[in-house]
Amino acid sequence: MGSSDQTISVETRAATEQVSGAMCELDNDKGKWFVTTPGSTTIVRSNEDLIVTCKKDELAPGIATVESATKGSMAGNILFGGVIGVIIDHNSGAAYEYPTLIQVLMGQSSEIRVPQAGDEAVAGVKPDPR
């Protein structure tokens, strides 16, 4: 049984350059958190995706839908914590994780997934097909 909290860092980018001073809202079914980029905040994990919306006056907003993934330690929890541990971690969000670094592309909507074994260390950003 792990922690339901996770620290997330948020950066905003426009084309190839970093954008500082964007106001971002991070939202999932456990709450809302705010950060000015570049910056970090502590959120509550969830099995639901995290929606990150960033705004800065002279730029179009950027929105990232960040996938929630099951933590690797969940398998050990099944063995040692049993069904009760699994239920507790699921309900608290401790069984899930988001990427620790989220890059939001201003003026775009994107989807970000948690890196899997063999992937690069930074979360992958792929354009939203909508």
Determine, yes or no, domain membership for 52. yes
Domain extent, residue 82, equals 5-118
Residue 120 has pLDDT above 70, yes or no: no
Q: What is the CATH number of the domain that holds 52?
A: 2.60.40
Q: How confident is the model at residue 123 (pLDDT cuts 50, 70, 90)?
A: very low
Determine, yes or no, domain membership for 124. no
Residue 98's nearest CA partner among 63, 130, 59, 71 is 71
Q: How confident is the model at residue 117 (pLDDT cuts 50, 70, 90)?
A: low
Total domain count for the chain?
Answer: 1
Determine, yes or no, domain membership for 100. yes
pLDDT at 88: 47
- pTM for the whole thing? 0.73
Residue 52 has pLDDT above 60, yes or no: yes
Distance (Å, whole) CA 12 – CA 107:
10
Write out pLDDT tens, residues 63-106: 999 999 875 544 444 445 454 444 444 444 456 899 999 999 99
Determine, yes or no, domain membership for 40. yes
Each as own residue / partner, the long-range contacts of residues 68-73 (CB below 8 Å, 24 or more positions apart, any chain) are: 68/28, 68/96, 68/97, 68/98, 68/114, 69/96, 69/97, 69/98, 69/113, 69/114, 70/95, 70/96, 71/2, 71/95, 71/96, 71/97, 73/2
Determine, yes or no, domain membership for 14. yes
Determine, yes or no, domain membership for 128. no
Determine, yes or no, domain membership for 130. no
Determine, yes or no, domain membership for 123. no
